[in-house]
Structure 1
Amino acid sequence: MRGVKDEALWGALSSIVVDLGVAVVRTLSPRETALFLAATLKRMSKKKGGPPPLRRKRGGMTVEEQKRFVLEGLPHISSSTAQRLLDEFGTLKGVFSASLEDLKRVKGIGDKKARDLYRLMNS
C-alpha cells in the first residue's frame, strides 16, 4: 500500500489475528509471510507479557482429546499416530511407560521413530 509502511500494515493484520482470533491470513510472498509472523510474534509478546506459547491452549476438550493433544506435541507424532498410540496403550501413562519393542508394534512407528520417542520419554 502506498504511504503505509509494511511493518504498520502487518502489525494491523497481526492485531486482527491476535486480538480478534481470525485464524487465516493470506500472504503473497515469503517476505510478506516473514513480516507478518514477526509482527504477530511481537504483538503476542506485548499482549501476554512474555514469549507466546508454542501451542495454543484450547478449552473445552474432552479427556480423550486432551490425551491426544499431549501426544501430538511430541516430535513426529501426527493426530493419527497419537490415536493409534492411545488405542494400543490406553493411557498416557501406558504410552510413556511402553518399551521400545512395544512402541515399534504401533502402525506408523518404525525403528527410528520408536528409538527417538523412547529416548525422549525416558530422559
Structure 2
Amino acid sequence: MRRRRGLLAGMALAALVAVGLALGVPLLRDRSQHRLERRADREVTATAQRTRAVLLAEPSAREADLRQAADSVDDVEVLTVAAGAAEVRLVFRVRVAKTAASVFGWQRAEAAACFAQVVRRVATPAPLERLPCPR
C-alpha cells in the first residue's frame, strides 16, 4: 500500500514536470528569440546613427562623396541620393543579422530599416528620419 502511494506520487510528479517542461521550454525559447530580435533592432539604430555621424562630418562634400561615405559603413546600402541647391538627401537601408547560441541551439534574428538624412552645406544638421523600406 505504501509502495503504491509512493509510485503514484512519483508518477504524478513526473507528469507535472513533463507538463511544466512542455509549456515552459517554448516560452523560454520565444523570450530568448525576442531578446535577440531587440538586440538586432538596437544595432540597426546604432548603425544608422554612425552613418549619420559619417555623413555630417563633411557637410560640404559632393553627393558622390556622401554616397561613398555611407557605403563605407558596414551593413548600410544607399538607396537614393538626391542633390538640391543647398543640400543632399540620402536614403539608406541598414540590415543586421544576429546569431546567438542558447540552451535551445543557435538562434538567428534579422532586422532592417530605412532612413533618410539631409546633409546641408551650412552647419545646421537635420535629424535622421526613419522611413518605411521600399519592397
TM-score range, shorter chain: under 0.3
In terms of fraction of residues, the more strand-rich structure is 2
Q: Which has the larger radius of gyration?
A: 2
* TM-score, normalised by the number of residues in structure 2: 0.21
- Give the structure-1-normalised TM-score: 0.22
Structure number with greater CO (CA < 8 Å, separation at least 6) is 2
